[in-house]
Amino acid sequence: MVAARITVNGKETPLAPAAPHTTVLDFLRERGLTGTKEGCAEGECGACSVLVARPGVHKPTDWVAVNACLVPAAALDGQELITSEGLATTGRPGTAPTLHPVQEEMAVRGGSQCGYCTPGFVCSMAAEYYRSDRRASTGPAQGVPDSTGTAAGHHDGDGTDHEHGPNGTDHEHGPNGFDLHALSGNLCRCTGYRPIRDAAFAVGTPLAEDPLARRREQSPPAPVATDHVRDDTAFLRRNTLAETLRLLRERPEAVVVAGSTDWGVEVNIRSRRAGCVVAVDRLPELRELRVESGHIEIGAALTLTEIERRLDGGVPLLAELFPQFASRLIRNGATLGGNLGTGSPIGDSPPVLLALEASLVLADADGEREVPLADYFTGYRQSVRRPDELIRAVRVPLPLSPVTAFHKIAKRRFDDISSVAVAFALDIEDGIVRKARIGLGGVAATPIRALATETALEGRPWAVETVEAAAEVLRAEGTPMNDHRASADYRSAMLGQSLLKTYARTTEAVSS
């Protein structure tokens, strides 16, 4: 087997002598690429972000920003990555590099002060810069000084920009098509975000001769089998699902990783080490998305960003979930299989998938079985999945309920862990609730269905009296606890409030 190596800024770099648990961040810094910084070591600040060539949604390749502090370097065996140093092009010997357009805008608009976070911002901005479906509208960028020296755009105080087209209609999207959610995982402690936002809204589109833009037209590196072993630890990747399942049967103690957004925190913060790590993120059998007559099947190793862009709003409840799930940097690596595999009672996807009546396809070396998600969790971080099984796919039955809502209650609007998460999927016909499915997170040892509340709604009018009575039932669902995120009483109150809010929104939609 060929020795593991990564193409860094266009140059093949051997992985050895890095240990299997070595992160991409440490791998780069040990080789002098110190633009990649460690700020939090758990994927919350973005100082470590780098670009990786991944299978594209609209083009053969997408440049995707990921947290280098979380990803094992061995996971990028055979792949290509670009650091902040690699974005700049080097001129003739003895001449200074030419700044990338994103770097140029950050510099001229004052987007960097101490500079610690700047390389990470630049890499996240570059990923959005190269997003192939980003489209610019006409007119000056919102919030960026125009030729008169004043900020372009007029606002009525409600976040609406009345001088710009559809790409500049709110403070999170620029008229150049730049989505500020691309920076939701990047933290700056000293500059302030206004000049960074100005830089984001000022970047244009890649030139035809831009080498990274041209690279999108070619296929990304194919996955390679990896056996990276040092001392008594190993990072292993197989080419097929069948090979991987045989490996898991031989090594049931192995830690399975996809985006490593959870395991990376364990390695960095809790200093956990595994004798064997098995990667499943590039397995083609886990990366399919199919819409069939009776269900939608979503591969367990597709990243949340890939699912979001491929579905393109086709499952509205998932479309509500995605912007509230961590940050874009995390969603670029995180998977549904990983979020469900950890069994966390505060994972964001289980309440939504419970409301959608999803089931899981579990595979082992002997075959597959389908398990309703409502029967999957058995206790705190425990499930019916055996050590030699993988979640191959998530199945969402069709047709979808027409009335849906997702409420995540947390201390921050984005990039935070939920105190309570509630998902609703309702069938309402002629003013009567024919079917109700409600998923809850953060109020029990496992994600749960609000069965009593579903019964309190079904067969009754979708009216304020019904909803208020059902809200009282919902407040008593689960066994919420007191912790540093919220009290049990607050969690219960938010359960009831979420149903009242959903009712208010549906009646507003009807009246409008």
* Residues across the chain: 512
Share of the chain above pLDDT 70, in %: 92
Rounded-to-integer distance, Cα 393 and Cα 368, Å: 11
Mean pLDDT of 460-475: 98
**Residue 160: per-residue pLDDT:** 32
Residue 459, Cα to own-chain centre: how many angstroms?
37
DSSP 185: T
Mean pLDDT of 206-211: 93
Share of the chain above pLDDT 90, in %: 85
Rounded-to-integer distance, Cα 128 and Cα 185, Å: 13
Torsion 362-365-368-371 (CA) sign = negative
Distances (CA, A) of 447 to 286, 354, 391, 441: 24, 8, 17, 5
SS (H, E, C) 253-286: CCEEECCCCCHHHHHHHCCCCCCEEEECCCCHHH
Lowest mean pLDDT among 190-199, 308-317, 334-343, 471-480: 190-199
Average pLDDT value over all residues in the chain: 91
* Residue whose token pair is 């079917």: 435
**Residue 511: per-residue pLDDT:** 54
Q: pTM of the predicted model, to two decimals?
A: 0.92
Bridge partners, 367 (sequence order): 364
Confidence of residue 192 (pLDDT cuts 50, 70, 90): confident
Bridge partners, 233 (sequence order): 230
Find, among 388, 401, 405, the residue nearest to 427 by Cα. 401
DSSP 247: H
Domains of the chain plus CATH, in order, are 1-134+178-221 (3.10.20.30), 231-400 (3.30.465.10), 409-511 (3.30.390.50)
Rounded-to-integer distance, Cα 501 and Cα 496, Å: 9
* 159 against 359, higher pLDDT: 359
**Residue 509: per-residue pLDDT:** 61
Instruction: Enter the tokens of residue 156.
Output: 């009525």
Rounded-to-integer distance, Cα 259 and Cα 326, Å: 13
> Contact 1/75 with Cβ under 8 angstroms?
no
* 63 against 416, higher pLDDT: 63
Rounded-to-integer distance, Cα 329 and Cα 311, Å: 19
Instruction: Enter the tokens of residue 132.
Output: 């192939």
Rounded-to-integer distance, Cα 414 and Cα 44, Å: 11
- Asked if the model's pLDDT at residue 141 lies above 60, the reply is no
Instruction: Enter the tokens of residue 345.
Output: 């009672």
Confidence of residue 404 (pLDDT cuts 50, 70, 90): very high
Tens of pLDDT, residues 228-273: 999 899 999 999 999 999 999 999 999 999 999 999 999 999 999 9
Tens of pLDDT, residues 58-100: 999 999 999 999 999 999 999 999 999 999 886 666 777 889 9
What spatial distance separates the first Cα and last Cα of the chain, rounded to whole Å?
Answer: 64
Mean pLDDT of 17-39: 97
Mean pLDDT of 327-341: 97
Q: How many CB atoms lie within 10 A of CB 11?
A: 10
**Residue 510: per-residue pLDDT:** 54
Instruction: Enter the tokens of residue 135.
Output: 């489209």
